[in-house]
Structure 1
Amino acid sequence: MKLRTRAELVYRFDPPTDAIYKIQAAHWPGQHIVEETLTFDPPVEFQEDEDAEFGARTLRCHLSGEVTLTYEAVVENGQLLGLPPQVSQHDWGDLPAEILPYLSPSRYCPSDQFGRFVTRAFGDTAGGARVIAILDWISANIDYEHGVSDTETTAARTFIDRAGVCRDFTHLGMTLCRASGIPARAVSAYAHQLEPPDFHAIFEVWLDNGWWLVDPTRLAPVEGLVRIACGRDAADIAFLTTQGRCELVRQTVTVEPA
């Protein structure tokens, strides 16, 4: 599917601070960037880096005052498929070494606290069927609601509050998958048909010797996703990270068929 993405981020940096952006489409197998442009207003000197493992790109810069960053791209995202229930789960001894970190608890995903719960709630399932059962449970029990969570909210807090936004749904889904022995990692993406349009947090699971993308909010079809970055949780995929404080002026994200 060919998609046109656009993001305009207007923030005020006062006092001046160092910043890292992750908003560019990743160089990822099966995802082809047909064309793209990136501009800062006023012009800013920046350094661009690319992660060798994930193809995710970061922009590092020192910012002062009101700064507008605009990114536009046309991306062919290939043939993304939904997760089938029959895909199998691996024994840990059969997993590639690079997959093992995504079994462990992380800052926002205390999966070591949920072993008893997943056994009681999903004990009769495994593999793709277990992941789908987890997504069904989240859909039935967690409300999509702004203002309940913040940047410090963990999956354990979301489990108690029973509400949150996409990053909270993703952290809880990943936590329950890891507690089930299924590797899971966070993904940031542009998402076609997401309402309201925004950067979207989803996750992927390792089953049948491959990664499968899933959207725990069920707000955007998998075939309309454009990958930006991935990592152990939201700390690795944030679209903007600053050393000091910054103030949002306005922000718009759009994704349309190209």
Structure 2
Amino acid sequence: MQVEIEARLNYAFENETQILLALQASQSRDQEIITESLVFEPSANYQTDKNLEGDRKLRAVVSGPTTITYRAVIENHLRPLLPAEGRRNLWAELPDYTFPFLLPSRFCPSDRFMRFTQREFANSPDGVARVVEILDWIYDHIDYVHGVSDAQTTALATFVDRAGVCRDFTHLAISLCRAIGVPARAVSAYALELQPPDFHAILEVYLENAWWLVDPTRLASVGGLVRIGSGRDASDIAFMTTDKPCQMIEQAISVSRFSKQGSRITSP
């Protein structure tokens, strides 16, 4: 399935500002970039860095009113879903790069949930079944509500409020998975058929020697997700990070099935 993406960010930067952008689709094995373009108006020099998993971040310096437009067509290959069963890897078996995703982080204080997970999920088989039970618990007990949380809300606050948006669902799922000894990391993505269209926060869990992509909100199908990047929590996957305050003028995200007729996409 081919997915067409357009992300347009229109911001005002009062002073010369350094920015980090996570807009570009990851160059990972389960998704192929057919074509893409990235345009700054006014033009700006930028540098793109790529990690070992194909996630890319862009660095630039901008000032004044600036519009950044990213367009792409992505071929989503058949993405494997979380298996029906499977065991949790022992820590001695884990690759060392998964260790940070076992530990508490800024928005995911997983150590605060250990007593709860031991009592709530102790009767389910260790591994995939326990992760699925956690995801079911979140879906059954947390309401998807805009305006309840903000950029400082942690998983602990979401657990108390029992409401939030995709970012909050993801932080709580990560915290509960880490509390049962399963590495979990936050993932930013473009999502087909998400309403309203926006950047979408989901997560990956490490089981059976592999990362598995899951959406705790159940608002988007895994097959229609275009992965951007991953990290410990929202602080690592923000679409834009700046060293000075800025003002959003307009922001628009569009994700749809690609049609060759009338496509907006052009090669870089």
- TM-score of the aligned structures, taking structure 2 as reference length: 0.93
2:29 is aligned to 29
Structure 1 CA distance for aligned equivalents of residues 93 and 46 of structure 2: 42
Counterpart in the other structure of 1:224 = 224
Shift of 1:173: 0.2
Offset of residue 85 of structure 1:
3.2
Distance (Å, rounded) in 1 between the aligned partners of 2:244 and 2:164: 26
Quick one: which amino acid aligns to residue 162 of structure 1? R
Q: Which runs of 4+ in 1 moved over 3 A?
A: none
Of residues 7-16 and 234-243 in structure 1, the stretch that sits farther from structure 2 once superposed is 7-16
Query: Where does residue 212 of structure 1 map in the other structure?
Result: 212
Task: State the partner residue of 1:100.
Answer: 99
Determine the C-alpha separation between the residues in 2 that align with 1:73 and 1:130.
37
Q: Quote the Cα distance in structure 1 between the aligned partners of 2:66 and 2:253.
A: 16
> Offset of 1:178 from its aligned partner?
0.3
Counterpart code for 2:132: I
Show structure 1 runs of 5+ residues with no match.
none
State the distance in 1 between where 2:16 and 2:169 align: 33
Quick one: distance in 1 between partners of 2:227 and 2:248? 24
State the 1:101 CA deviation.
Answer: 1.6
Separation in 2, partners of 1:25, 1:110 = 29
Task: After TM superposition, give the deviation of residue 91 of structure 1 in Å.
Answer: 1.3
Tell me whether 1:168 sits opposite 2:168 in the alignment.
yes
Matched residue, 1:196: 196
Partner of 2:117 in structure 1?
118
Bigger drift between 82-91 and 116-125 goes to 82-91
Q: In the TM superposition, what is the alpha-carbon distance from 1:54 to its structure 2 partner?
A: 2.3
Q: What does the per-residue CA deviation read over 1:29-77, in whole Å, with 9 as the maximum and x for residues that have no partner?
A: 22210100110111112122112x2211111111111111000111112
Deviation for aligned residue 1:84: 2.6
Once residues 218 and 72 of structure 2 are traced to their aligned partners in structure 1, the CA distance between those partners, rounded to angstroms, is 24
Q: Is 2:66 the partner of 1:70?
A: no
In structure 2, what residue type is equivalent to 1:160? V
Report whether the alignment pairs 1:4 with 2:31.
no
Listed as ranges, the gaps of 5+ residues in structure 2 are: 259-268
1:159 pairs with 2:159: yes
The whole-number CA distance in structure 2 between the counterparts of 1:16 and 1:146 is 33
Whichever residue aligns with residue 190 of structure 2, its letter is Y
TM-score (norm 1): 0.97
CA drift of 1:14 comes to 1.3
Comparing 140-149 and 198-207, the one that deviates more:
140-149
Partner of 2:263: none
Give aligned pairs, total. 257
